[in-house]
Amino acid sequence: MTMETEETVHISPQKREISDWDLKDKYLRLKKKSIRKLITLPPKYLGNLNKGIEETIFKANEEIFNEFGGVPIAMGKKTLLQNVGTSIDDHPFIQFFVDLECVVFVPKVDKKVKAVVNKIGETYINCLICDRINATIFKRIQGNNIKKSQSNADVSAADSENAEKNLDGLSIGDNILIRIKSIKYEPNNIFITANFEKSL
């Protein structure tokens, strides 16, 4: 029985302002958006609404994704539209509207995006997009039951094989370019699978 080994290093997400992101970099796939959102918080946030707003917005679930058209990764100006929140009958929550400025990561299948390697396993490589969004590259290993992923239409078979070989040379912290294959939702995050394109 072969035990799978992995190498991992935790890369702590950096708290960044909107101005820290290069919105013109096409491989970051970022957009600046303004949105009015209804926030629902438990009473424990009454003394720290900013924290409650951020924890709500940075839950990268399907609801937030659909509402913002992507995954918020940085937040700018926040404007409360009412001084006192509205309580919900029979529930210990308050609600209020807020105008937000955000930088949003907008992933699309078959589009390229920059990422940083943060975990290396025998059959996969994990990386982070925009410091917070997980993406996984599954290796195509001969002689086992791992299904070979299909090459993109605009990538030749030779290029695909070369990219696969280059995976073996990657290290934790390497900056790479990946191509998104699929996007799935988890309770508080999205999960992206991707193909390796090249090192940066």
With a CB cutoff of 8 Å and minimum separation 6, the contacts of 22 are: 28, 30
Mind giving me the DSSP string for 51-67? HHHHHHHT--SHHHHHH
- Look up the domain containing 37 and give its range: 30-105
Domain end (from 58, 85, 105): 105
Please report the pLDDT score of residue 27 as a whole number: 96
Residue 112 resides in a domain = yes
Q: Say whether both 141 and 175 belong to one domain.
A: yes
Of 158, 161, 193, 166, the closest CA to residue 178 belongs to 193
Residue 136 maps to a domain: yes
Same domain, 80 and 138: no
Number of domain units in the chain: 2
Alpha-carbon gap, residue 80 to 117, rounded angstroms: 38
Q: What is the DSSP string of 35-92?
A: EEEEEEE-GGGTT-HHHHHHHHHT--SHHHHHHHTSEEEEEEEEEES-SSPEEETTEE
Q: Along the 200 residues of the chain, how does pLDDT read in single tens digits?
A: 444 455 554 444 555 688 889 999 999 999 999 999 999 888 888 888 889 998 889 887 888 888 999 999 999 999 988 765 565 556 678 888 999 999 999 999 999 999 999 999 989 999 999 988 999 999 875 544 444 444 444 445 555 566 667 788 899 999 999 999 999 887 667 889 999 999 99
